[in-house]
């Protein structure tokens, strides 16, 4: 296989790997060049001027997934419909320049009248599926936590549908801009668990959220615990609601894919809700997906 | 009755009325002097230097309700427990100076392990109850929409419990600081109703909220409709969840108390959920409550 540059280029960061001919990762690095931090139209230039030189990858073919394929990125690549497997993504690859291919995102029917969409997680999820042949058999449920957590249903190796929950963004926005904002924060496991309990069945979230304020002003709780409480409450509400919204079959395992520490929080809260979950490395999955797509691109 | 100055002094604004000996309102005015806009410790001075002169109320006794009684206000006045009627509030009045009395807030058991709290709405709710003797009989359910919407259960003239939902704050914070932020906005009734429909049973709110984004990037909807959609979705989720959280009896009327336009939005969405609602003027209720409490203060 030809050596190549693989990039998971999201809203906040760009994660890059140089993969050698024998498949070994020669270099990997994060760049604070997420699409949300770029000026309009400058993605191509910054990729050429900053990413390629830093990765010592000036001449290499590159494959990119994530928000870089949105209309705020380098080139808008149309969403592909579900069901979708790696072959569907490969068909939807679009060239940003002679040496750069961008992976399409996915679109599916949503839980409301609106559709649901993803860009980047499809590559991680299908890369995770491709990493073990047993995962292409039957049903797999993947939870990819983050700013916009994705719950993804894979049937016989194809993503059939998914649901997005903006749990991470609620945590971030409420913690910075609402009455739940906090200057000092102390990570407190007991308070995290109180937040999980306060999530109840996940209904009435706007009311449950106010308890994060009332426990301080009415209950004398230390405001430094508010981030832990809010994290527990929001993940708890997701664990109580999303399995129903994605029709999680009784007894199904949830595969939590992504950042290790955040995945472990999800695994623990899902276990409290009676749902068995296993944690998997999101970066390895992204690289697996990008490598498979690079191999199948049409030159 | 002695003439007096009545103030509903909240987080954002201060609403003031001068009431004559015969009960007539001589003057009324809003001041952008909410507690959230004041420096620590300056409430007394600004009340004396700005509010009293502008209201031509220099020597008058004053009664104040709202966040001015919090630890961020003029003087911290302890919460009173529920059940509570106007007599309970009168017992809890505290003097901020020789000519100013502050109404206590209320605290009750919450829907989580944390308590729930209010400051200001208790005066409006009990003022509304006092304005018609029939309202002191049996059960009344009051919804007071706003930044922190209150659902209040009144039994035989006493507030027995309440639940707060931070619906208005979610609308404001998400509309300014999240991916749902909007530069241009067009009030669109059809889109508002689509948002109400997207609220479903109110569960999985973090997932339903993402539909406000996906309908634009995946469904081609005009982003100028996002505020209308978000408003419908959040009020719809509240209308689907809160009646259950406050154990609303089958067939009970909900009395929506507050700002006329916002109350009408709530009335309409509640009607769509099969709940009959009546709208009432929040300012008249506040003044009714403040007048009753002024009369019953201990000099």
Q: Is B110 helix (H, G, I), strand (E, B) or coil?
A: coil
Predicted confidence pLDDT, tens digits, chain A (299 residues) = 799 999 999 998 999 999 999 999 999 999 999 999 999 999 999 999 999 999 999 999 999 999 999 999 999 999 999 999 999 999 999 999 999 999 999 999 999 999 999 999 999 999 999 999 999 999 999 999 999 999 999 999 999 999 999 999 999 999 999 999 987 788 899 999 999 999 999 999 999 999 999 999 999 999 999 999 999 999 999 999 999 999 999 999 999 999 999 999 999 999 999 999 999 999 999 999 999 999 998 76
Do the chains contact at A117 and B178, CB–CB below 8 Å?
no
Share of chain B above pLDDT 90, in %: 95
Flag whether residue A244 sits within 8 Å of chain B, measured between CB atoms: yes
In a domain, A124, yes or no: yes
Q: Looking at the structure, do residues B252 and B171 belong to the same domain, yes or no?
A: yes
Cβ <8 Å between B200 and A234: no
DSSP A24-58: -EEEEEEES--GGGSPTT-HHHHIIIIIHHHTT-S
User: Which chain A residue has its CA at the smallest distance from B233's CA?
Assistant: A112
Nearest-by-CA chain A residue for B240? A204
**Within this chain, do residues B27 and B53 fall inside the same structural domain, yes or no?**
yes
* Residue pLDDT, tens place only, B127-156: 999 999 999 999 999 999 999 999 999 999
Q: Enumerate residues 6+ apart whose C-beta is below 8 A from A179.
A: A213, B166, B169
Name which of A112, A149, A179 is nearest B208 (Cβ-Cβ).
A112
> Is there a single domain that holds both residue B111 and residue B9?
yes
Q: Does A222 reside within a domain?
A: yes
Is-contact B31 B6, C-beta < 8 A? no
Query: For residue B299, what pLDDT is reported?
Result: 62
Report the residue from A165, A178, A206 with minimal CB separation from B237: A206
> Taking CB atoms and an 8 Å cut-off, how many pairs form between chains A and B?
185
Q: Does B19 lie in the same domain as B87?
A: yes
SS3 B116: strand
- How many whole angstroms separate alpha carbon B62 and alpha carbon B41? 19
CATH classification of the domain holding A264: 3.30.420.310
Residue B206 in domain: yes
Residues B194 and B225 in one domain: yes
Is the Cβ pair A197, B116 closer than 8 Å?
Answer: no
Nearest to B197, CA basis, from A110, A181, A108: A110
Domain-embedded: residue B169: yes
**What 8-state DSSP symbol labels residue B135?**
G
For residue B277, the enclosing domain spans 165-281
In a domain, A75, yes or no: no
Q: Does residue A174 belong to the interface with chain B, where contact is any CB pair within 8 Å?
A: yes
pLDDT above 90 as % of chain A: 95
Q: What does DSSP say about strands A4-9 and A62-65: parallel, antiparallel, or unpaired?
A: parallel
pLDDT in tens, B245-290: 999 999 999 999 999 999 999 999 999 999 999 999 999 999 999 9
Same-domain pairing of B15 and B54: yes
pLDDT digits (tens, 9 = 90+) for B214-235: 999 999 999 999 999 999 999 9
pLDDT of A299 reads 62
Alpha-carbon distances of A298 from A19, A290, B67, rounded to whole Å: 19, 14, 65
B291 and B277 both lie in a single domain: no
A70 touches chain B (CB under 8 A): yes
pTM attached to this predicted model: 0.95
Chain A residues with beta carbon closer than 8 angstroms to that of B234: 206
Contact B139, B105 (CB under 8 A): no
Residue A189 lies in a domain: yes
Say which residues have a Cβ less than 8 Å from residue B220's Cβ, sequence separation at least 6: none
Q: Which of A64, A77, A66 is nearest to A121 (CA)?
A: A66
The answer to whether the Cβ–Cβ distance between A245 and B204 falls below 8 Å is: yes
Tell me, what DSSP letter sits at residue A78? P
Domain match, B58 and B170 both: no
Contacts of B248 (CB under 8 A, 6+ apart): B141, B242, B254, B275
Tokens representing residue B212 in the block:
């406000």
Count: domains in chain B:
2
Residues B236, B269 within the same domain: yes
Flag whether A174 is in a domain: yes
Give me the mean pLDDT over the B73-96 stretch.
Answer: 97
Nearest CA in chain B to A78: B218
Higher pLDDT, B17 or B186: B17
What ipTM score was computed for the predicted complex, to two decimals? 0.95
Residues 6+ apart with CB under 8 A from B225: B186, B188, B191
Chain B residues in contact with A201 by the CB 8 A cut-off are: 203
Per residue in B16-73, pLDDT tens? 999 999 999 999 999 999 999 999 999 999 999 999 999 999 999 999 999 999 999 9
Which of A116, A206, A221 lies closest to B170 in CB terms? A206
B255 in a domain, yes or no?
yes
Q: Kindly state the DSSP code that residue B38 receives in the 8-state scheme.
A: S
User: Which among B197, B201, B245 is the nearest to A113, CB-wise?
Assistant: B197
Strands (E), B145-219: 149-155, 158-165
Residue among B190, B142, B147 nearest B166 (CA): B147
CATH number at residue B76: 3.30.420.300
* Per-residue pLDDT band at B182 (split at 50, 70, 90): confident
Provide the mean pLDDT of chain B: 96
Statement to judge: residues B245 and B291 lie in one domain: no
Pairing of strands A106-109, A115-118: antiparallel
The token pair at B259 is: 């700002």
Q: If you measure CA to CA, which chain A residue comes closest to B163?
A: A207
**DSSP-assigned letters across all residues of B88-151:** HHHHT-EEEETTEEE---EEEE-SSSSEEEESSHHHHHHHHHHT-GGGGSSEEEEEE-STTEEE
Give pLDDT, residue B184: 77
Closest partner residue to A169 among B70, B110, B178, by Cβ? B178
- Residue A203 with chain B: CB contacts under 8 Å: 201-203, 240-241, 244-245
């Amino acid at each position: 296989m030809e050596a190549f540059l693989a990039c998971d280029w999201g809203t906040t960061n760009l994660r890059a790997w140089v993969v050698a001919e024998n498949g070994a990762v020669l270099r990997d690095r994060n760049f604070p060049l997420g699409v949300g931090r770029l000026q309009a139209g400058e993605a191509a230039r910054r990729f050429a001027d900053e990413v390629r030189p830093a990765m010592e990858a000036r001449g290499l073919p590159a494959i990119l997934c994530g928000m870089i394929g949105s209309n705020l990125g380098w080139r808008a690549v149309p969403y592909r419909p579900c069901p979708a497997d790696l072959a569907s993504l490969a068909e939807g690859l679009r060239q940003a320049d002679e040496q750069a291919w961008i992976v399409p995102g996915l679109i599916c029917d949503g839980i409301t009248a609106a559709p649901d969409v993803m860009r980047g997680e499809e590559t991680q999820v299908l890369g995770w599926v491709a990493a073990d042949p047993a995962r292409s058999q039957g049903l797999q449920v993947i939870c990819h936590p983050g700013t916009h957590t994705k719950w993804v249903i894979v049937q016989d190796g194809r993503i059939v549908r998914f649901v997005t929950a903006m749990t991470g963004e609620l945590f971030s926005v409420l913690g910075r801009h609402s009455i739940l904002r906090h200057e000092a924060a102390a990570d407190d496991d007991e308070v995290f668990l109180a937040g999980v309990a306060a999530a109840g069945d996940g209904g009435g979230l706007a009311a449950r959220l106010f308890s994060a304020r009332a426990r301080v002003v009415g209950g004398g709780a230390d405001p430094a615990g508010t981030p832990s409480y809010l994290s527990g409450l929001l993940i708890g509400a997701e664990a109580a609601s999303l399995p129903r919204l994605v029709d999680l079959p009784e007894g199904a395992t949830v595969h939590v894919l992504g950042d290790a520490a955040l995945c472990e929080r999800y695994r623990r809260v899902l276990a409290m809700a009676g749902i068995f979950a296993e944690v998997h490395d999101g970066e390895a999955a992204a690289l697996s997906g990008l490598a498979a797509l690079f191999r199948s691109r049409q030159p």
